[in-house]
Amino acid sequence: MVALVIGLALFFDFTNGFHDTANAMATPIATGAIKPKTAVTLAAVLNLVGAFLSTEVAKTVSGGIIREGSDGVQITPDIIFAGLMGAILWNMITWLKGLPSSSSHALFGGLIGAAIAGIGFNSVNLETLLQKVILPAVFAPLIAGLVAYLCTRLAYALTSRHDPDTGSKLTQKRGGFRTGQIFTSSLVALAHGTNDAQKTMGIITLVLISAGTQAPGSGPQFWVITACAVAIAVGTYAGGWRIIRTMGSGLTEVKPAQGFAAETSTASAILASSHLGFALSTTQVASGSVIGSGMGRKGTTVRWNMVGKIALGWLFTLPAAGIVGALTALLVKTGVVGVVIAAVAGTAAVLFMFVYSRQSSVGHHNAVEVEEAGQTVRFAKKKALARARAKAHRQKDAATADQHKDAATADQQEDAQR
Amino acid sequence: MKWLELLTVAGTTLVSAVTVVVLYSLGVRLTAIAGDAEQASPRAKRYFAYTCFGLCGLAVLFGLYLIIPYFSK
């Protein structure tokens, strides 16, 4: 049973990785800062590094929501097995729908459902639940969105340049933000590694402790850290292209300066929250940032019905994963046969969703076709602009005022593109 | 309820994100100015731009230094 749970936990880590690639890499892919394949490789490596950097989060994971220890109930590997099952299935469903939803909430939901079904309603600490899950879920997108909004406004205000005499726009070189995006998105990937890989480490440690193979209160063992780091890195490399599409082009059109602002806010929010003791969900922070930065740029529209879909997904995360967790817990309670049935049913469901996803494949080649189309248009315009300028040079006798006007409108077009 | 922690997190996020974005944006702006055709001292502007990018990088590294437990021990 312990081995089964550890295997399942590592698979959860894998789904977590590929579910959350989008958080770090959707915006740089969408602006063309990094090529899709390179982006997922970079994210995978940084997740691996991040997982080793800090194990502080692992020690506190899921602690308190289910009353554990001597005065509470004993959490068993069975409950964890059921909880993980709920979390994995919900992760797969949201991935299939292309919805960015919090993997940690799915995990909490699954565990809570399993604990209620397996032990009883009093096993759940409602106050901790409110404090650790529900409040952060409300504030994470708000904080991140607000900060990203302000940063986007700032970035655009600081780089906007007008000729003091004529009032026409000058070159702004906002493409320079693309280079910055490589670093900020790397930071998000690193933050994800320090944050999310820890959750699985915490779970496996919890299983080992409850099975009596590890002393209570001790940190994760080295092989656990390594296994989790590798699992999340492989998951990240596999890439959840469906969610990358949603985050990169489904919510709002992302331009380099905007992507830079969004990523900076995401990275700061995640790193600040996980180290100041108020854990926020990576996915919710990242989605909030993208929406906020979309509101901060003039002339962009945020696709609110997509935002609504995502919000609805967040609302359902906890109960849906909880129900699957509870059902699995009931099955597991019946004995070995129940465990086998649950394992087989879970594997079958995951396989079915994988096969179903093949019908409309979304991969690195077509995840963000929208922006690629936009880029070719811009390149064409730049070429046209250069041609127009060369022409103007040749016809030196042409009225200079006309030429100014030409360049100004072309520049304006270029700005509108950004 | 941990309202104080929530405020700290919000404040830290705001301060760090704004620092990085402002420094980088200044760098971008200075690069653009240095690239202008009629420009008195493009080289100085370019150095200023690099200084901004450098400071931005330092701010990020300082943040990481604060976070990674290996250094704070």
Domain-wise residue ranges, chain A = 2-367, 369-418
Residues of chain B positioned with their CB less than 8 A from the CB of A184? 20
- The mean pLDDT of A183-197, rounded to a whole number, is 85
How many alpha carbons fall within 13 Å on the CB side of residue A410?
A: 19
A279 in reach of chain B (CB within 8 A): no
Indicate whether B56 belongs to any domain: yes
Collapse the DSSP code of A411 into the 3-class scheme (helix H, G, I; strand E, B; otherwise coil) and give the result: helix
Name the minimum distance, in Å, from the CA of B27 to any CA of chain A.
9
- Provide the pLDDT confidence category of residue A70 given band limits of 50, 70 and 90: very low
Q: How far is A398 from chain B (nearest CA, A)?
A: 21
pLDDT at A375: 40
The type of residue at A149 is Y
* Contact residues on chain B for A172, CB-CB shorter than 8 A: 28-29, 32
Contacts of A161 in chain B (CB under 8 A): 29, 32-33
Taking an 8 Å cut-off on Cβ atoms, the answer to whether A174 and B28 are in contact is yes
Whether residue B10 is contained in a domain is answered as no
- Average pLDDT for residues A173-201, to the nearest whole number? 83
Answer whether residue B7 is part of any domain.
Answer: no
Mean pLDDT, chain A, whole residue set: 77
Cα A326 to Cα A333: distance, rounded to the nearest angstrom: 11
Where is average pLDDT lowest: A22-26, A374-378, A412-416, B14-18? A374-378
What residues make up the domain containing B26? 21-72
Q: What is the pLDDT of residue A360?
A: 67
All residues of chain B having their beta carbon less than 8 Å from the beta carbon of residue A146 are 14
- pLDDT bracket for residue A274 (50, 70, 90): confident
Residues A410 and A392: beta-carbon distance below 8 Å:
no
Work out the angle between the directed axes of helices A222-238 and A177-210 (0-180°, nearest 10). Answer: 140
Task: Compute the count of residue pairs across chains A and B with CB atoms less than 8 Å apart.
Answer: 117
Three-state DSSP class for A1? coil
CB contact under 8 Å between B68 and A183, yes or no, is: no
For residue B70, pLDDT over 50 is answered with: yes
Mean pLDDT of A317-337: 84
Model confidence at A381: pLDDT above 50 = no
Contacts of B14 in chain A (CB under 8 A): 146-147, 150
Residues A42 and A260 sit within 8 Å (Cβ to Cβ) = no
The residue-averaged pLDDT of A376-398 equals 50
- Please indicate, yes or no, if residue B31 is contained in any of the structural domains: yes
pTM recorded for the entire structure: 0.77
- Could you identify the residue written with the tokens 């959750």? A199
Would B1 be classed as within a structural domain?
Answer: no
Q: Is the dihedral of CA B44, B46, B49, B55 positive or negative?
A: negative
Structure tokens at A276: 């100041």
- pLDDT attached to residue A351: 83
Give residues with Cβ within 8 angstroms of A35, minimum separation 6. A29
Contact present, A4 and A339 (Cβ < 8 Å) = yes
Of all residues in chain B, the one with the smallest CA distance to A262 is: B17
B9 Cα to chain A: minimum distance (Å) = 5
How many structural domains are present in chain B? 1
Which of A131, A148, A151 is facing B1, going by the closest CB pair?
A131
